[in-house]
Structure 1
Amino acid sequence: MFSKCSVALSILAAINPIFVYAHDKHDDIEIISVMGISKPIASNSSAMKMDMSQLETPGSISVYSKELIEAQRASSLGQVLRNDASVSVGNVRRNRERFYMRGFVLEPDQSYMRDGQYHLSRYAQPIELYERVEVLKGPSALLYGKSTPGGMINLVTKKAHDEMQFNLSQEYGSFGFNQSLLDAGGSLNESGSIRSRVILSKSSQDGWRRYKDGSYAGQERFVGALMLEADLSEDTTLSLNYDLTDDEGRIEMGPQHLKNKASGKFELAGKRDYIWDMPWSNRKSQVENSGFTFNSYLNDAWSINMGFNQQRHQRQTLESLYGKVQNVDLDKGTYSLRGRDTFERFDVTTAFFDLKGDFYTGDIHHRLLVGSSIVDYDRTGQQMKMAIAGRASFNDRHIIERPKELDYRNGAAMTHVQRHTYGLYAQDMIEFNDSWHLLAGLRFDREQTTHETRHNVLPKLGIIYHPTENTSIYSTYSESFEPKDPISNSDDVNYGKKLQAERGQSFEIGAKGEFLEGALYVSTALFSIEKNNKVVTDKRDDKPVTTQNGKALHNGVELTVEGKLTPSLSMLTSVMYLDAKIISDPLYTGKRAKDTPAFTASTWFNFDVTEQSQLSVGAVYVGERFGDTPNDFLKEAYVKVDLGYSHSVHFSNQHLAVFRVNIDNLFDTYYLRGGCSNSAMFSDGRAIKASLQYKF
């Protein structure tokens, strides 16, 4: 069971989202160290795949811990990433969150990792499974292969514990929100060499927007996970994992931004509480992940790490509207429907093997990483789409029923996509002395598809200078690549033409420091990212013409401040200024990138009112940005304020209860979130959540 010190520190972690702790046992004496900020000391599953502190890392990485996630009662990945000004929200339709990082889209099939492995993220991530979220900013292709130049997200899963732990929480909130969570585990034998953890979560919500029949766009989700871990020897550990996410809910496409014929200006069409879709629109998704990791220390200097994961994802999406809404008459308030029923199955197998070494050549210290990775991606599906007779209206409750013919089994098979990717990489952190370090790396990738075989070579170089023990200055050059399939639109002039990979080059300089005896961490970065070979489409004789003549340039500066200002006041602040421009495009040269504000900021303060009670306040500012690539529709800037309060009750040495109340969008601010090229999503109204958490 927990010692008194462990319980006391657990309370501290529960009531302060910025505090984290680490403990090690030595000679039967438990040594506990407390740090004022959450600084990632990378493990095998962490972003850099090496034991590197923030000051040693030549790049920008933000880490959001489970303490922060619990304090903010985040129930989605988007609610965690709102703490990061470098990340902006994209399309949230179909219950899939899309994001931009440094102005570039985070693609669901190449911008996410799970425990350092490629992870297909075509579903809403179950945040209750994750210990922390790591945000890697800038190209990360060296270690992980194909990726967008903006960065990547690494989701670090919770692990089994050797000490018995039990965590039960119940939460209720506005708009029918309800979540029950059980998180329990511990040693399965007397020695503690075999450990387990079980997570079960059931949640549902109605939402606040309604269909024409008065029903809500609700959703339900079940998450179940089992983690097993065994010490095969003093130096070798085997971990097994399985999790299931079953998600079902309705669909809404959001309001449309359309051109008003009378004024010639683009405006938002649709009421804030009105859903364009018919109430029979829905989606079902089931995702299974199963795999293992194997970690072994060969000696004091060398270790091997390997892992395997199999993901199976099935989903069906039934839509009454897709793409741009057709035949809209704003004066009469009517529009046409287009139905689409899609079934997809994804099978993704990933594996990696890393060899890590720590050695000297003369007086020069090396931390070497040599590894390989495999990704086997397979997608199949079937789709039926059709125009639906009749016209819907904003002004009545008439529902156009689903046609019987609208069934994916009546449609044609979708393009079968197979990709086999093999990667080899090497990275060396070279420490010439206490002040000067150099990180150099090279990656070779081979991707084989049904169309062709492609090869990519990517370098990375980073220089770190430590003026003092608690500060560092760095400069980094890195590259990214995004393979593209041949042009599949049969109407395109260049139909069937093979495309090269889109490539990104990034230059970044930055400075980091730990102040107030390590309690406060400050980081700033200046970056320039250029993306070449962009796939763009023009028109010739009313026919689309796709080429790779596009180019984009994103320049920006970021600032992060995290830690304790006083013994009772903690903060987490992130700020970014971004100039994201399209440099070359047949239609949009000189335009600003979609959904990328010039200025964003996020801050979160936590104040210890008493030893048991904490008050938190957070604010997010998002500057004005365009909702479409032609820059015809401008979304206004907004400030959203959140509030939180928690109180802890310690019953005994082993039992703890935490009561929390969180208010999201305290002042009920109206704003527009991300959307598709022709749509946006309305902000949620003020929402109150109350939760009771019991631990021992």
Structure 2
Amino acid sequence: MTSKKHRRPAWRPTWRISHTRRATLAATAMALGAAVPAYAEEKDESAETRKALPTITVTGDAVESATGPVTGFVARRGGTATKTDTPLIETPQAISVITRDQMEAQSALTLRETTNYTAGVVSSNFDSRVDRFKVRGGDAIEYLDGLQRSYGVYNTTRADPYTLERVELLRGPSSVLYGQGGIGGVLNLVSKRPQAERQREVQVQLGSHSRKQVTADFTGPLDTEGKWLYRLVAVNRDSGTQVDHVPDDRILLAPSLTWRPSADTSLTLQALYQKDKSGSLIGFFPWQGTLLPSLYGQIPTSTFTGEPGFDRYDTRNTSLGYLFSHRFNDTWTFRQNLRSTESKVVYNSSYTSFTANRLTGRPARPVFNADQRTIERDLIVQLNGGKMLLLDNQAEAHFKTGAAEHTLLVGADFQRNETSQLTGRGRAGALDVYAPVYGNYSAPTFLTRQPAVLQKQAGIYVQDQVKYGRWIGLLGLRHDKATTDTEGRPAVAVDDKATTKRAGLVYLADGGWAPYLSYAESFLPLGGADVNNKPFKPQRGKQWEAGVKWEPEGQRTSFLAAVYDLRDTNRKTTDPTNPLNSVQLGEVHVKGLELEYKGSIGRDWDWVASYAYTDARVSRSTGSDLGKRISGVPKHTASAWLMRRFSIGGVPGFSLGGGVRYLGKSYDGMDANPVPSVTLLDAMFAWDNGPLRLSLNVGNLTDKVQLTTCLARGDCFYGQRRTVTAAATYRF
């Protein structure tokens, strides 16, 4: 961040660059920068040229859009809640926006870390395979630019925050607009897009566990008229992790190209190539030695339960798509978004065994052997694949009926998702987790082809936002048809249909206050079947929510308070008697409160503070889980971050910030094995003056060892230890 004097204009994007791999990586990035045409150099402007160039307004609020850059932590507009560019205060549902500036200040290295200071989000699971987000007792489904980002399990890459302009969290059921979705909500990632103003940056980042990363982000016009805009985002990382023998390497290229032949038409072509190399960060450690006492103390967080040279989680993801928009007249605009994605994953892992042994009395959960030092290990090999084709058509109309102003949205979307897998299982020798000796294993020599799963879903939806004086109403209706076919298993074919509804009302009161009330539903076809070949029923949710938002005029602050009551039926969870099987709960009932406050003072201070109360329990079941709390969902969570910009000895551009995060006690799903509450501290110091930004960020400042979750099936998971990250960003 910059000082008041040198802070970038409000219309400019935030520029940031991440860790270094080697000196050659930095040279590569600089070569990339040299290769990009620099069409925005100063030129003599004729009257004709000035007429052709796009108009740029320097008033920050006037140019803010639902997808563009935002200065500071506070966004005023969003597109996730309505699929239209709408002020957040006019949306009758709780939504949070994490801006590029906030991600930069807090040095969010993973998508999981972008939500560390967002009310009610539990994303502390330290996992190299996926980013998980618990919201309102359920999972938030990831979307990218309004289209679902992934389908299936362990068959795709994790999103890189450096490629994102913002992250928007829409809490609660949201199927009216998105079809597939659970009660947790939608986590919509908004990608960086080509900009009309030339901007180029390179960043080198060094950090804990030999982290070396270099990133580059170039954007601007390709012609003098500004009809062609480009953007190229690149990431190259070579890194270790807090777990021995587990890398965190990445190569990513994300080019995009925008064609704007007129003010009414825009076509943005997007592509992504991402290749990651990692392994198993999760050890599936037994309760003993983590949550419970052990003869030899706590299992070290760096312990690797796999086999060096065998264990891997290597992913490759390629996608192509476009975002198209055409405005026919003052009333009608048509949009079409499409993306095709193919992903492949090589997943080899040896992990703490869940296999029972009747002869020795060993239970079907991770436990120590009699020596209280060694664990038995199972071994798995998977070659996973996924293909996705997604299409969303939208027609938006603006018109009046008397004194009422309407924003009508009519849409039809379609997706086709296919997953494939080759798998093999085996055994590895017992491992001493306090003094590991590796090499005792035999990899499977034969892999079995699992049945491919094909899911198709088509939906039609309609939404009307009606503004009448100070009142804003929202009505939405959607119908979905989803089919799931498993190759060679016609008995488990699923044909689901669902109609979902949404309604809300907002009142724009004096002083920037806006109380609201809303109702929403969700529909999530699960596909597949349990071990008895019984198809899973679709998951359904419904929610009532009431709240108030506050955005005082003339201030860059926003406040949200929301209470909700929601019910989730047919939720799939791990079978406590068989970890390789899943069962469906009758009903989960969640009640809660969320508070979030963001703002800035005179561009010298930025802050965010949040609190959430979440009571999530099984409310209907024929099993022993009736009335039990949902695993891994703390009743209380809170966080606060404060950052100050200042000068030292007359030199401007310094900033100092810090944060505190609190995660309350959680349980294993059977109200046993309570995971203690934890308080974590973060800190940052930066100097940003002119083209150069230097920063130092420390996560988990006191290096506190934490457990994020312990499950009734017998295993516990560690959280992230202290991470130190130093970055140098050069903008030119």
- Shorter-chain TM-score bucket reads 0.7 to 0.9
Higher strand share: 1
Asked whether 1:309 is paired with 2:339, we answer: yes
Q: After the TM superposition, which residues 104-503 of structure 1 pair with which residues of structure 2 at under 5 Å, given as runs?
A: 104-106=138-140, 111-120=141-150, 122-210=156-244, 216-254=245-283, 256-258=285-287, 270-279=299-308, 280-321=310-351, 324=354, 328-329=368-369, 331-388=371-428, 390-404=429-443, 406-407=444-445, 410-431=446-467, 433-450=468-485, 451-468=493-510, 470-485=512-527, 487-489=529-531, 495-503=532-540
**Which deviates more, 545-554 or 189-198?**
545-554
In 2, Cα distance between equivalents of 1:462 and 1:268: 54
Match of 1:619 in 2: 660
Please tell me whether the aligned partners of residues 255 and 269 of structure 1 are also in contact (alpha carbons under 8 angstroms).
no
- Any idea what SS the aligned residue of 2:102 has? helix
Amino acid at match of 1:646: A
Render the CA deviation track for 1:593-650: whole Å, top value 9, x for unaligned: 1111111111111111224111111111111112x22232221111111111111222
Render the CA deviation track for 1:501-548: whole Å, top value 9, x for unaligned: 2211100000011136332211100011111234578899x9999875
The aligned length equals: 655
C-alpha change, 1:606 and 1:11, in structure 2 (3 Å) is: farther
C-alpha change, 1:396 and 1:83, in structure 2 (3 Å) is: closer
In 2, Cα distance between equivalents of 1:678 and 1:443: 41
Shift of 1:244: 0.9
- Any idea what SS the aligned residue of 2:243 has? coil
Shift of 1:499: 3.8
C-alpha change, 1:664 and 1:171, in structure 2 (3 Å) is: same
Asked whether 1:53 is paired with 2:87, we answer: yes
C-alpha change, 1:119 and 1:681, in structure 2 (3 Å) is: same
Unmatched 5+ stretches in structure 2: 17-49, 62-71, 355-364, 486-492
Asked whether 1:661 is paired with 2:661, we answer: no
Render the CA deviation track for 1:407-442: whole Å, top value 9, x for unaligned: 5xx1221231101100100000112x2222210010
C-alpha change, 1:208 and 1:69, in structure 2 (3 Å) is: same
Please tell me whether the aligned partners of residues 644 and 660 of structure 1 are also in contact (alpha carbons under 8 angstroms).
yes
Render the CA deviation track for 1:448-499: whole Å, top value 9, x for unaligned: 222132210001010111222621111011111222335331xxxxx23344
Amino acid at match of 1:79: E
Render the CA deviation track for 1:198-231: whole Å, top value 9, x for unaligned: 1111112212333xxxxx3222111111100101
In 1, Cα distance between equivalents of 2:329 and 2:296: 66
Match of 1:89 in 2: 123
Amino acid at match of 2:609: T
Q: After the TM superposition, which residues 493-572 of structure 1 pair with which residues of structure 2 at under 5 Å, given as runs?
A: 495-515=532-552, 517-535=554-572, 550-565=586-601, 568-572=604-608
Shift of 1:566: 5.6
Q: After the TM superposition, which residues 588-603 of structure 1 pair with which residues of structure 2 at under 5 Å, given as runs?
A: 588-603=625-640
In 2, Cα distance between equivalents of 1:665 and 1:515: 34
- Any idea what SS the aligned residue of 2:143 has? strand
Shift of 1:365: 1.2
In 2, Cα distance between equivalents of 1:172 and 1:543: 39
Q: With structure 1 as the length reference, what TM-score do the two structures score?
A: 0.88
Amino acid at match of 2:687: H
C-alpha change, 1:89 and 1:163, in structure 2 (3 Å) is: closer
In 1, Cα distance between equivalents of 2:250 and 2:603: 40
Shift of 1:270: 2.5
Match of 2:42 in 1: none
C-alpha change, 1:183 and 1:217, in structure 2 (3 Å) is: same
Render the CA deviation track for 1:227-247: whole Å, top value 9, x for unaligned: 001013331111101111100
**Which deviates more, 272-281 or 587-596?**
272-281
Please tell me whether the aligned partners of residues 484 and 528 of structure 2 are also in contact (alpha carbons under 8 angstroms).
no
Match of 1:647 in 2: 687
C-alpha change, 1:452 and 1:682, in structure 2 (3 Å) is: closer
Match of 2:19 in 1: none
Match of 1:20 in 2: none
Amino acid at match of 2:264: D
Shift of 1:162: 2.5
Match of 1:32 in 2: 58
Amino acid at match of 1:462: G
- Any idea what SS the aligned residue of 1:68 has? helix
Match of 1:587 in 2: 624
Shift of 1:256: 2.1
C-alpha change, 1:675 and 1:95, in structure 2 (3 Å) is: farther
Please tell me whether the aligned partners of residues 157 and 274 of structure 2 are also in contact (alpha carbons under 8 angstroms).
no
Render the CA deviation track for 1:63-90: whole Å, top value 9, x for unaligned: 0111111111211101101111311126
- Any idea what SS the aligned residue of 1:503 has? strand
Shift of 1:258: 3.1
In 2, Cα distance between equivalents of 1:286 and 1:537: 28
Amino acid at match of 1:250: G
C-alpha change, 1:252 and 1:546, in structure 2 (3 Å) is: closer
In 2, Cα distance between equivalents of 1:458 and 1:614: 47
Shift of 1:266: 14
In 1, Cα distance between equivalents of 2:660 and 2:582: 42
In 1, Cα distance between equivalents of 2:204 and 2:293: 51
- Any idea what SS the aligned residue of 1:69 has? helix
C-alpha change, 1:533 and 1:426, in structure 2 (3 Å) is: same
In 1, Cα distance between equivalents of 2:129 and 2:721: 18
In 2, Cα distance between equivalents of 1:155 and 1:670: 30
In 2, Cα distance between equivalents of 1:268 and 1:534: 37
- Any idea what SS the aligned residue of 1:663 has? strand
Shift of 1:269: 6.3
C-alpha change, 1:477 and 1:265, in structure 2 (3 Å) is: farther
- RMSD of aligned residue pairs (Cα, Å): 3.0
Render the CA deviation track for 1:81-117: whole Å, top value 9, x for unaligned: 11113111264434322221112123xxxx1111111
- Any idea what SS the aligned residue of 2:277 has? strand
Please tell me whether the aligned partners of residues 97 and 123 of structure 1 are also in contact (alpha carbons under 8 angstroms).
no
C-alpha change, 1:534 and 1:664, in structure 2 (3 Å) is: closer
- Any idea what SS the aligned residue of 2:186 has? strand
Shift of 1:120: 0.5
Render the CA deviation track for 1:18-54: whole Å, top value 9, x for unaligned: xxxxxxx9999753124575224235xx442112111
- Any idea what SS the aligned residue of 1:416 has? strand
- Tell me the percent identity: 22
Match of 1:492 in 2: none
Shift of 1:265: 11
